[in-house]
Amino acid sequence: MTPSTPLLPALEHQCRCFSMAELSSATDNFDEKWCIGQGGFGKVYKGMFSDDPTSIYAIKRLDFMSNQGATEFWVEVRMLSRLRHCNIVPLIGYCNEGKEMALVYEYMHNGTLYDHLHKNDTVLTWSQLLKICIGAARGLDYLHTGTGTQQGVIHRDVKSSNILLDQNYAAKIADFGLAKIGPINQTHTHVITTVKGTFGYMDPNYFYTGRLTRKSDVYAFGVVLFEVLSGRPASDNSGSSSS
C-alpha cells in the first residue's frame, strides 16, 4: 500500500525503509517471546538488527484484522518522520512490503505511564511523576506551537498509555495514527473531523460537535494529570480507542 500523497521521496531522507526480511530477522520471525504489547494497530515486538546489535528497537506490526490500517500508518510515518523533540518518541523507520506494514521506534525501557500507574508493582516517586508530567507537557507544547509550521499538530489521542518512558523515565509522547494538522489559517480555530479518540480522555465539546482544537489535547492531558494525582484510571476501558 502507498499513501494517497507522494510522501516516499521526502521520507527517504528522514527515516529508514526496512524490508520485512530485516524485521523478521530482528524478532526471530516475530516470535511471541519478543512480544511486548498489543494495541489497535497490532502487536509490538522487541528486536535487534544485525547491523546494530547493541541497540534495542520496538517494532509495531500491522494486524490484518485491525480496525486501524493504511491511513493511520501513513499519518504516523508522515508525522514522526518530520517531528524532532526530546519528548516525542523517535521513529527509526517503516516497512511497506506487499500487505505487510510495520513501524520501527526506539525501544522505551520503562513501558508506559499507564502501566506504572495501574498495573506495575513499581511505585514512581512524586519527583519522578512530576518530571514525567512536565516532559509530556513540553512534548505537547512542541506539537501545538513549536513544529515550525503555522498550523501545529493536534495529537487527538493523548492518554497515559501513549506516554512512554525511556531508561531515565523521560516522557515520550507516542502513537500519532490519529493526529491532525491544525487549522490552515488564523481565521479558523478548529478542524472539522470524524470523532476519534479514547473514551475517558475525549474532550466533550469535540465529541458532540466534531470540532477539533488544540484544547482537545489539553483536556485529555488534564485527565492524565488527574490519573497521576488520584491513581485512578480515566475509565474502566481506558486503554481502548473508539471511532
Q: Which of 97, 41, 45 is nearest to 71 (CA)?
A: 41
Residue whose entry in the numeric block shows the C-alpha cell 485512578: 232
Residue 157 is among the residues annotated as catalytic for this protein: yes
- DSSP string over 170-221: -EEE---TT-EE--SSTT---EE----B-TTTS-HHHHHH-EE-HHHHHHHH
Distances (CA, A) of 104 to 95, 96, 164, 200: 8, 12, 15, 29
Catalytic residue among 121, 157, 166, 217: 157
Report strand pairing: 16-17 vs 91-97.
Answer: parallel
The Cα–Cα gap between 147 and 82 comes to 9
60 annotated to a ligand binding site: yes
Using CA atoms, how far apart are residues 117 and 74, in angstroms rounded to an integer? Answer: 31
- Name the binding residues for ATP: 60
> Which residues does the annotation mark as catalytic?
157
- Name the binding residues: 60
